[in-house]
């Protein structure tokens, strides 16, 4: 298949086939990526629950850095898909070039800034004196090497926007396998503890980036980074962040929430913070198939919306909702009926296991409906309407989850913290559905494509008769 055919098929090939081809590799790679984060925590768990709690404290900071990278990549991917759908390849080339410029600027600004204020940041995110030094050891290395994360996440998303899911999958697999191999070597073999876990992650990302650089420099990609396009182009940067800002703000808000919840859990001890960290790690694993579906859907939606094939946009959304709902029901079953075995993977401490079991069960209450919300948020981004996704997510994180996590523990203790998650989920899901109906109507996209198909088939039969 030629490079042009790879993008053109987004507008012609069967949606379910496209979704399988684009989503399966990214879903598999993201699952492996989540798995190596879990293995990271398992290895650290041998050091003790304070080490797990330290990683839990650093997690929201990592999340903010990743949010900026993913938001930049998703925004660029969306604009590239729409440009290719509108047959404007040169604008797509400008966009990938601007993405390299943004990678350099983000690395130069964010890394020194966070390192400069690391101690107060860790304290704000809930680090107690008992775990501050461990958190600082891990965070210092992770943040210093986060330029590897920036490059990886930005360009994996961009390559998907061209309709190529295999290369991002290989990239993530290389990083995941590298991390799994390096973790025990640095943590135990070299006796580096949490610093070893951080160093293994950075080195694995670096190896993955070498693979991406080789691909970007080859003739196998339709898009090309051009020297003449590297000067900041504020029109394209605006287009990137008009969509990408949604991911950045959503995930940054999530980090703020995690930091707030860490502080809410502080009165219940470091084990409660460790329980939250364990739950969030497995939570990421459960959500990865939906995020993989979303990654596969973004170029399909963006291309077909740019090509004004609105029935295909609707079909893609409903196909994604169907599969994502199945995945999240499986996640609900796992969290509801098997929380003890999940907890036992990370710790043998009975008190920590009890806390983690409750965290799993309460967190999963709204899972069966969350899959559709993820797909609808991807739809908003794919058509360049990021505001609805941003509003529903920010309201969930800041408008619903923080107040719930503040009020409910006063009446239910630590259980109130876990209950805050489903309460905020149900409220934000309801809002997302309202926003989706509005966007469908404003963009004149059929809410349910099967009605259009039936009408078209009926008209075809009438003409033939």
Each residue's pLDDT, cut to its tens digit, for the chain (465 residues) gives 445 555 667 777 888 788 888 787 767 766 776 776 677 778 877 777 788 888 888 888 888 888 888 888 888 888 887 787 778 888 888 888 888 888 888 889 888 999 898 888 888 887 777 788 888 888 889 889 888 888 888 888 778 766 677 788 888 888 888 888 898 899 888 888 888 888 998 999 899 999 988 888 887 777 777 777 778 788 888 888 887 877 787 778 878 888 889 889 988 888 898 899 889 888 888 888 888 888 788 888 888 887 888 888 888 899 999 999 999 999 999 999 999 999 988 888 889 999 999 999 999 999 999 999 989 988 887 887 778 877 877 788 888 999 999 999 999 999 999 999 999 999 999 999 999 999 899 888 887 766 665 555 554 555 555
Looking from the CA of 452 toward its CB, the CA atoms found within 13 Å total 13
Question: What local confidence, expressed as pLDDT, does residue 461 receive?
Answer: 54
Report the C-alpha gap between 155 and 240 in whole angstroms: 13
Report the C-alpha gap between 427 and 370 in whole angstroms: 11
Question: What local confidence, expressed as pLDDT, does residue 6 receive?
Answer: 54
Q: Which of 386, 387, 59, 3 is nearest to 254 (CA)?
A: 59
| Cβ-contact 244, 154 below 8 angstroms | no
Report the C-alpha gap between 265 and 343 in whole angstroms: 18
Tell me the whole-structure pTM to 2 decimals: 0.72
| Cβ-contact 225, 97 below 8 angstroms | yes
Report the C-alpha gap between 307 and 87 in whole angstroms: 9
Question: What local confidence, expressed as pLDDT, does residue 5 receive?
Answer: 54
Cα dist. 304→84, 85, 395 in Å?
Answer: 10, 7, 30
């Amino acid at each position: 298949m030629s490079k042009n055919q790879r993008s053109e098929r987004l507008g012609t090939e069967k949606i379910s086939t496209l979704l399988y081809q684009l989503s399966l590799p990214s879903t598999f790679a993201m699952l492996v990526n989540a798995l190596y984060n879990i293995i990271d925590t398992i290895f650290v768990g041998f050091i003790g629950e304070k080490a797990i709690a330290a990683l839990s404290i650093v997690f929201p900071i990592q999340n903010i850095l990743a949010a900026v990278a993913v938001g930049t990549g998703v925004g660029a991917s969306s604009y590239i898909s729409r440009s290719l759908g509108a047959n404007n390849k040169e604008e797509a080339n400008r966009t990938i070039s601007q993405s390299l410029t943004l990678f350099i600027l983000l690395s130069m600004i964010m890394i020194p800034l966070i390192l400069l204020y690391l101690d107060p940041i860790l304290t704000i995110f809930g680090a107690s004196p008992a775990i501050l030094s461990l958190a600082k050891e891990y965070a210092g290395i992770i943040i210093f090497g986060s330029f590897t994360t920036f490059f990886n996440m930005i360009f994996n998303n961009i390559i998907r926007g061209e309709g190529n899911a295999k290369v991002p999958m290989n990239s993530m697999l290389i990083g995941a396998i590298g991390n799994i191999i390096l973790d025990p070597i640095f943590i135990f073999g070299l006796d580096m503890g949490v610093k070893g876990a951080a160093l293994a992650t950075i080195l694995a990302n670096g190896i993955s980036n070498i693979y991406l650089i080789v691909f970007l420099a080859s003739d196998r990609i339709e898009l090309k980074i051009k020297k003449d396009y590297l000067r900041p182009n504020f029109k394209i940067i605006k287009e990137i962040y008009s969509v990408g800002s949604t991911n950045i703000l959503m995930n940054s808000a999530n980090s703020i929430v995690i930091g707030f919840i860490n502080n809410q859990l502080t009165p219940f001890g470091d084990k409660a913070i460790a329980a939250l960290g364990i739950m969030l790690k497995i939570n990421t694993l459960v959500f990865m198939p939906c995020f993989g579906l979303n990654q596969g859907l973004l170029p399909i939606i963006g291309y077909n919306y740019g090509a004004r094939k609105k029935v295909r946009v609707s079909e893609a959304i409903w196909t994604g909702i169907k599969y994502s709902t199945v995945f999240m029901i499986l996640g609900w079953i796992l969290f509801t009926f098997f929380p003890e075995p999940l907890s036992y993977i990370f710790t043998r401490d009975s008190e920590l296991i009890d806390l983690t079991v409750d965290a799993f069960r309460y967190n999963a209450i709204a899972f069966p409906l969350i899959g559709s919300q993820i797909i609808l948020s991807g739809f908003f981004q794919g058509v360049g309407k990021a505001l609805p996704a941003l509003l529903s997510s920010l309201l969930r994180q800041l408008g619903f989850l923080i107040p719930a996590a503040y009020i409910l523990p006063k009446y239910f203790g630590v259980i109130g913290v876990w209950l805050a998650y489903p309460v905020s989920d149900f409220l934000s899901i309801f809002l997302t559905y309202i926003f989706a109906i509005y966007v469908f109507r404003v963009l004149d996209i059929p809410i349910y494509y099967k009605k259009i198909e039936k009408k078209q088939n009926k008209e075809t039969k009438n003409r033939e008769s």
